[in-house]
Chain A
Amino acid sequence: MKHLLYTIALSACASVALHAQNNNARITGNLQSNGNFFITDEKIGASGTPQYDNQKFGAESWLALNYSNWGFDMGLRFDLFNNSNLLNPTGSFTDEGIGRWYVHKEIYNFDLSGGYLYDQIGSGIIFRAYEERALMIDNALKGVKVGYKFNDNWKIKAFTGRQKRQFGTYGSVVRGGALDGFIRPDSTKSFSLAPGAGVVARTYDDETVNRIVNEIATYTPQDSTGAQYNSYAMTLYNTLIAGNFSWYIEGAYKTKDVLFNEFEEKATGGRGKLINTDGYTGYTSLTYAGAGLGITLEGKYTKDFRFRTDPFQIGVQGQLNFLPPMARQNTFRLPARFSPNTQELGEKGIQLDARYAINKKLSVGINVSDIYQLNNLSLYREIAPEVTFKYKRKWQLLAGLQILKYNIEVYQGKEGYVDAITPYAEWLYKFSPRKSLRVEAQYLDTDEEFGSWAFMLAEFGWAPHWLIYVSDMYKMKHDNKAQYSEEKTKFDGLHYPTFGIVYTQRANRFSLAYVKQVEGINCAGGICRYEPTFHGVRLQLSASF
């Protein structure tokens, strides 16, 4: 099979070379490569993984080529992982091959695609096939998709396939479809509706069912539960736009599904067992934008809406859907230290984000996020006011304060809550249109987990090519170390310096950095996973052509 794929790949490249001179032909592509040199440092916990102990180097690379001609779009992506810790932060993964290929063609009103496809229904609540390389998520659907456009406003699509798993696929078969529309009763007025509906069905393969049956067979009668091959998820959604307001609402229901619930107690003791239950979720987002004011209010309620291609996959792998997060994605280092992972088995939350430009120089904003379990146990609360001041075109200051309550027991399996207050500031000074200096300063004040941290960064930019930065994250010492456990004070007084250089040439970017990074949780869109300490040299290259 691998040889066949390589043959197809080579044929496609040869074909590209032959026809690249054709005027209608268009070839594009991109390359992303990461290389990590690992330097052992037992003091900060940078040891004990294959990369630190023996391998010393790990790399990942993705090279994608897209070719369009004769009304066809086709693409091929070569993926490479060499002693990579991206799949498993404490392990090592080595493999390479064709990570993606696809063919797409529009024939009259039909839209046909085959191969590894990325797509979603609505906001992704019942189905989202996407890629998030930082977390090694590649949920492409290996299958076919057929779309049909009734007219400019209404279209329908149907697809079937199996979810990608590295260079293979999961066994379960997924099929689904969606109808999307757009209604604008009066073209002279700013009022429109974009309704939609979708259905996804997942059929477990025999092997997965066999594992489910074997697992349930060991349960006591109190824990025992039924199982079925098929589960169906349905959703209805709509975006209403009226003047300056935009309102999105989506509600979804999933029929009985065998899920792994890691919090459920077994009658014989121990946590974690399979359950067979239906689930539902609702999500809404109301936005107002106008006259210097922007407000977004979001709300979500989820119950048993874990939807996996394999019930035994409980990490970031095997997810068929995507539940929108109820907290903002913090970009500054310390405010991002405690990020909430979306709870598929049950959570309710609201988020408010408001920005107001008082004048051209001064703008203020606030983000409030409040998330609970369905039994009203508080999971996450973040209140973050921010102010931005621009002085002519010379300099700009952003200052904010994050007030945080984070249930570290639920999110990370540690004890209790983290209550933290983190002031942060970013100052950008332009020496000239080409030369600028950006400085970040943050201080995370808490008694919980390892205690307080400080962070500073200075970044000098020399547009359009060069960027040099240096930063340090420092673990504040506890005043009276003896009264705390060794675990709590193990990083006391340690520095985590980083310095690097970035060279940019048009759409190509090359960076080289020495990095010392503390362990923590890495999140993207509410999908999080543990990342161990990193110490070493990091090389990154990205290019588009």
Chain B
Amino acid sequence: MKNFTILSFAAAGFFFFSGCKEKPITIPELSVGGRNVLVEELTGVKCQNCPDGAALLNNLNNQFGGNLIVVSIHAAGFYSVPYSENKYDFRTPQGTELANFIGAAQGFPAASINRRLVPPETELYLSPSIWTGQIAEELKEEPTIGVFVETDFDPVSRKLDVAVNLAAESVLSGEHRLTVLITQDSIQDLQLVGTTKVYDYYHRHVLRTTLTQPTGNVIAETLSPSAVVQKQFSFVLPPDWEEKHCSVVAFVHHGIDPNKEVLQAAEEHVMK
């Protein structure tokens, strides 16, 4: 009996501690390929923690420059309902439809990163603790399609013409969609920060409207290296949208559940 006990302890000890010494994990240098990363952030003026999320994205934007494209969607339910003191209501039917198309969030702020499902998460909207790592992961990849946006804005008529060129690197099979939308940066308006109402808060990358269906327009043409697909859009900017802070964002993505992954995104200012 005594021998058995000793043997049990020895086996247990071996079981647990024999593998304590492990090969150290190497942290690689951050590599940035040609792929841009689209971050669709769910936010709201009454969401007290959302400014922390916006600050994190702002830091990452500074770090990754043009490779990171942020769209802030004010469709966080109750948290996006404006206060009576708000100058603007950032909610739009298109924003709500787009947000619902992506899925459900498990709290706010939340963001989808290239609409990629990241196991073990069950939703495309991710909590801020995951954003940085997932953005870094996506940045490493090379795009399978090039997305190029050209804008032409007439300040008098306020008409904006947009041309989106799609150049596939290889033949892409399956359904692909194109979503084109307009964001406006640096809008000063009330935001709840913690428990304080900040009246001159700068709202970044606010989704204003979509030029396609919010769920994306299905691309009927074959996406192959032999031909560039061009799509054109026109839109008249409302007078209260400051054109110098407006941008056009275009991206190609899958559209059928569960894979809604964004293959490539591009952003271009309305005013060059």
Contacts and interface: CB of A to CB of B under 8 A. Distances in A.
Interface residues on B, range: 35 or more
Interface in B40-81: 48-49, 52, 55-56, 59-60, 62-63, 76-81
A92 B104 contact: yes
Contact of A212 (B19, B22, B107, B133): B133
B108 interface: yes
Interface residues of A, number: 66
Contact of B77 (A47, A156, A175): A47
Nearest to B44: A48
Given A53-B77, A218-B63, A310-B120, 13 more contacts: A48-B79, A93-B104, A150-B1, A165-B120, A179-B9, A201-B16, A211-B133, A218-B136, A229-B25, A232-B16, A255-B20, A314-B127, A315-B107
A215 B120 contact: no
A528 to B, nearest CB: 14
Contacts of B85: 486
A45 B79 CA distance: 9
A213 B25 contact: yes
Interface stretch (B169-177, B189-197, B205-213, B243-251): B189-197
A269 B15 CA distance: 43
A227 interface: yes
Contacts of A262: 129
Given A88-B106, A156-B8, A230 B197 contact: no
A227 B52 contact: no
Contacts of A93: 104
Contact of A314 (B25, B60, B129): B129
Nearest to B125: A91
Contacts of B48: 413-414
Contacts of A49: 77-78
Interface in A94-134: none
B31 to A, nearest CB: 8
Interface in A211-263: 211-218, 224, 226-230, 232, 255, 260, 262
A230 to B, nearest CB: 6
A269 B55 contact: yes
B155 interface: no
B107 A158 contact: no
Contacts of A394: none
Interface string A147-169: 01010000010100000011011
Nearest to A311: B129
Rank and list the top 5 A-B pairs by shortest CB-CB distance, nearest first.
A48-B77, A48-B78, A215-B133, A88-B106, A214-B133
A230 B106 contact: no
Interface of B: 1, 4-5, 8-9, 12, 15-17, 19-20, 22, 24-25, 27-30, 48-49, 52, 55-56, 59-60, 62-63, 76-81, 83-85, 104-108, 118-120, 122-123, 127-130, 132-137, 192, 194-197
A449 to B, nearest CB: 9
A255 B20 CA distance: 10
Given A213-B27, A217-B30, A268 B59 contact: yes
22 contacts: A47-B77, A48-B79, A53-B77, A88-B105, A92-B104, A148-B8, A158-B15, A177-B12, A199-B16, A201-B16, A211-B130, A217-B27, A218-B63, A218-B136, A226-B27, A227-B27, A228-B25, A262-B129, A270-B52, A312-B133, A415-B196, A486-B197
A209 B134 contact: no
A91 B30 contact: no
Interface of A: 42, 45, 47-50, 53, 87-88, 90-93, 148, 150, 156, 158, 165-166, 168-171, 175, 177, 179, 199, 201, 207, 209-218, 224, 226-230, 232, 255, 260, 262, 266, 268-272, 310, 312, 314-315, 413-415, 485-487, 532
B136 A207 contact: no
Nearest to A485: B197
Contacts of A47: 77-78, 81
Contacts of B195: 414-415, 487
A269 to B, nearest CB: 6
Given A53-B77, A260-B129, A268-B63, A91 B25 contact: no
Nearest to B138: A214
A214 B197 contact: no
A258 B265 CA distance: 33
Contacts of A179: 9
Contact of B192 (A226, A228, A266, A487): A487
B132 A414 contact: no
A150 B9 CA distance: 12
Contacts of B107: 88, 90-91, 315
Contacts of A218: 30, 60, 63, 132-133, 135-136
A269 B132 contact: no
B136 A215 contact: yes
A269 B20 CA distance: 35
A170 B12 contact: no
B62 to A, nearest CB: 8
Nearest to B96: A53
Contact of B136 (A217, A226, A485, A487): A217
A262 B53 CA distance: 12
Most chain A C-beta atoms within 10 Å of own C-beta, residue among B80, B84, B133: B133
A487 B27 CA distance: 45
A212 B24 CA distance: 13
A470 B49 CA distance: 36
B15 A415 contact: no
Contacts of A216: 27, 133
A275 to B, nearest CB: 12
Nearest to B54: A270
Given A53-B77, A270-B55, A312-B130, A214 B108 contact: no
Contact of B24 (A166, A226, A312): A226
A216 B78 CA distance: 34
Given A218-B60, A218-B136, A227-B27, A171 B83 contact: no
Given A53-B77, A487-B192, A217 B130 contact: no
Contact of B56 (A175, A217, A270): A270
Contacts of B52: 270-272
Given A170-B120, A212-B133, A312-B130, A232 B20 contact: yes
A227 B133 CA distance: 14
A310 B119 CA distance: 11
Contact of B16 (A50, A168, A177, A315): A177
